Structure 1
Amino acid sequence: MPLSWVEIDLAALRHNLLQVRKRMSARTQIIGVVKSDAYGHGMLPIARELVSGGVHFLAVSKFWEAQELLVAGIRHPILVLSGIEPCDMEEAIRQQVRPALFRLDHAELMSRTACRLDTEAKIHLKVDTGMGRLGVPYERAPAFLDKLLALPGIKLEGILSHFAAADESDKSYSELQLSRFREVLGELAGRGHAVQFIHIANSAGLLDLPHAHFQLIRPGIMLYGSPPSQELHFPARLKPVMSLKAKILQLKDVPAGQPIGYGRTFLPEKPSRIATIPVGYDDGYPRLLSNQGQVLVCGQRAAVVGRVSMNLITIDVTHVRQAKEDDEVVLLGEQMDDRISAEEIAQTCATISYEIYCSIGRHRFKYFLNGAADL
């Protein structure tokens, strides 16, 4: 066992997937979002678990992520949410990887490539209904559809959009986006074209906008055990999938006034017992937790004192008299009756749980518990 490590609880993932199923419409299927290394949780084992759990699609951000899934033997429908670059189109078509498409020049190249290969390229048209990022602007969608539907070799399998504020308690903007999306769906129907898959709902949309489920939903953060935001009434009991743990590397007694760490930002007011933990910002533990964070030792909370450095932090365990070297420390996760959540860390750092998971998930030692598939 290394000095510090990340644990991924696949039983918790299965539990969260069940919570998704309990809240979705009977006619709806699931896109398991595994982009960005499954939010830091490990894309390949997570993808295998989700496929085993019956998700209909997997979604990634970049084509190279889709290639990793394919090389690993995961032969399942894959949607690339950021689209596919021209240099990758032929391979994507051969592998039946679907792009979220939003550029006409990409559609035309895909059409020519599919015709040359004597096959059909499946795509999902992305419509921007108010997020302001990727997508055909909804007011330009009718003209775009006229050109897209005329292209040979292209199968419009799906159409999607993305909520900008579904994680807010005020749903007025989400309802506006949904109205715009339905307008585009009406334009598509008016052209006599039906698509197999319509999708707009993310985790927040799944929970708070059941009339937006359509044929597919795209849960992301909910699968990994966190709510989309703290504003929502959250009717699902989720289990966090990721933990960050380490061992106490050294214990020392220091006198009052003895500086701790870079910059001497912590000076004990009384004789103290300080534990050094082999975790730092290289492991994704935020430097903003310097003199702010808390960890769990022997089931008790202990304060991070001094600056978080690249590979080490120091904690005050003066009150945890039973603590000893090599004891387990939980920096993210549960120990006995307490838990350090990603939401707690995120609040301290003025960020969101997504960033905490992605950062910590880059840790080089990751262990998959409760039925992990082979890497």
Structure 2
Amino acid sequence: MYKEAMRPAWVEISLDNLEHNVKQIIEKVGSAEKITGVIKADAYGHGAVKITEVLRKCGIKTFATATLAEAVKLRECGAREEIIVLGLIPNMYADIVAEYGLTVVCCDSENARAFSDAAEAMQKRAAAQQPVPNCLSAQDAFSGARPISALIAVDTGMGRIGYLADDPDTAIADIKKMLALPNFRITGLFSHMSTADEADKTFSREQERKYNAFYNALKNAGIAIPLRTLANSASVTELPSVNFDLVRPGIILYGCYPSGEVDRSLIDLRPVMSVRANIVHLKDVPEGFSVSYGRSFIAKRPSKIATIELGYSDGYPRPYSKHAKVIVNGKLAPIAGNICMDQCMIDVTDVPGVKLGDEVIIMGSDGTLTISADDIAAATGTINYEILCAFGQRLPKVYL
């Protein structure tokens, strides 16, 4: 129990395991400089600011967020490295991009023009020695006379954002408009794999082919692309031919495998997050006693019921109720009834010596017993990514 958490439920983040995972990725790609640390969704629920500090110590010099707000938060917390915003940023936010010196993903010349204009406005302000809003300090402005850096997005099969890979002529015409902009600099070519985590790599190979063909079309048109980035977590180990100049690992940083179809022998990952709580209430109940909403648990014998202060608002999925087990004092114990919003109950009848304050492992390991994000995801029809993100939203974090 951690008093500073101000509640008897928390997530534990193992920084040693995080460093181990980073070292494993470095072994696969050759250097830390090739890694873009994906820290979107608050570093998949692990806490982006702290995770960034550790990745920086490991030699990673580029980070990626999903949203502008996530990138701004990192800047305001002191991050000086390149930050790529992977989502498209509407024109109305171009001034914020310029103020914070962020790298954007772009696939529209009018969007690029907005960024160029915003950078020019910042340059004029700097030349006039006017204060730059939102900069960390006058000496540490990321904007000043700096053009906006951008990765050109090409859609090779994800169907999400980017120029169509099969129509390079249209893309080239639009990209050439970007090249004419005075404060907009193309630094790379970006795309995203949609099935790299599947055993069948046929479509992934097709995405690779389309990416390379598009890149070569740009090159033949005289458009220089300094770096290429296509690889996600699964690609790092399963498709090394697409690792190129930058890889973008996400879930593998945090010790989870992208799916059940990847070859886990290719990389040794250690889970970074565990979820724990303390028993706050214990009572003995008679046979026939009902527990939780809808009387979803009926005691079939005299039973001992424990309560913990953690529920579905903390990321513990309510549909997991019928399958859920936790670890108490080295033994598995089932959840009793439906998981509530802020609490849940456990049938600890078969756990010897259980008492108030005992630690309950909701996700994590104790000796040979393990409950993983994969286990919870499989039982609730989702993926381990969602489980990590959900647990990390509300529960306090303890870094070890």
The TM-score with structure 2 as length reference comes to: 0.89
What letter matches 1:90 in structure 2? D
SS at 2:297's partner residue? coil
Offset from partner CA, 1:279-331 (integer Å, 9 cap, x none): 11121111111121011001111111200001111111111122111100000
Alignment partner, residue 356 of structure 1 = 387
Q: Does 1:289 align with 2:320?
A: yes
CA distance in 2, matches of 1:292, 1:208: 32
What letter matches 2:22 in structure 1? L
CA distance in 2, matches of 1:38, 1:171: 28
Alignment partner, residue 126 of structure 2 = none
What letter matches 1:122 in structure 2? S
1:65-214 mapped onto 2 (5 Å cutoff): 65-118=70-123, 119=145, 120-138=147-165, 139=167, 140-214=170-244
Q: Does the Cα contact within 8 Å between 2:9 and 2:395 map onto a contact in 1?
A: no
Q: Does the Cα contact within 8 Å between 2:32 and 2:58 map onto a contact in 1?
A: no
Alignment partner, residue 342 of structure 1 = 373
Q: Where in structure 1 do 4 or more consecutive aligned residues deviate above 6 Å?
A: none
Moved more, 172-181 or 250-259: 250-259
The Cα shift of 1:26 comes to 5.7
Alignment partner, residue 63 of structure 2 = 58
Alignment partner, residue 310 of structure 1 = 341
CA distance in 2, matches of 1:145, 1:86: 17
Alignment partner, residue 228 of structure 1 = 258
CA distance in 1, matches of 2:186, 2:42: 28
Alignment partner, residue 328 of structure 1 = 359
CA distance in 2, matches of 1:88, 1:61: 15
CA distance in 1, matches of 2:51, 2:175: 35
How much identity, in percent, do the aligned residues show? 38
RMSD of Structure 2 on Structure 1 (CA): 1.5
Q: Does the Cα contact within 8 Å between 1:25 and 1:210 map onto a contact in 2?
A: no
CA distance in 1, matches of 2:122, 2:357: 60
Instruction: Give the one of 293, 314, 329 matched to 1:298.
Output: 329
Q: Does the Cα contact within 8 Å between 1:202 and 1:218 map onto a contact in 2?
A: yes
Instruction: Give the one of 301, 304, 313 matched to 1:270.
Output: 301
Alignment partner, residue 34 of structure 2 = 29
The Cα shift of 1:366 comes to 1.1
CA distance in 2, matches of 1:227, 1:364: 23
Q: Does the Cα contact within 8 Å between 1:7 and 1:366 map onto a contact in 2?
A: yes
Q: Does the Cα contact within 8 Å between 2:109 and 2:175 map onto a contact in 1?
A: no
SS at 1:245's partner residue? strand
Q: Does the Cα contact within 8 Å between 1:27 and 1:215 map onto a contact in 2?
A: no
Q: Does 1:215 align with 2:251?
A: no
SS at 1:326's partner residue? coil
Q: Does 1:239 align with 2:265?
A: no
CA distance in 1, matches of 2:244, 2:197: 18
CA distance in 1, matches of 2:179, 2:157: 24
SS at 1:249's partner residue? strand
SS at 1:305's partner residue? coil
CA distance in 2, matches of 1:179, 1:220: 23
The Cα shift of 1:90 comes to 2.2
Change (3 A) 1:92 1:135: same
CA distance in 2, matches of 1:225, 1:268: 38
The Cα shift of 1:147 comes to 2.6
SS at 1:362's partner residue? helix
SS at 1:200's partner residue? strand
The Cα shift of 1:253 comes to 1.6
What letter matches 2:115 in structure 1? M
CA distance in 1, matches of 2:316, 2:73: 27
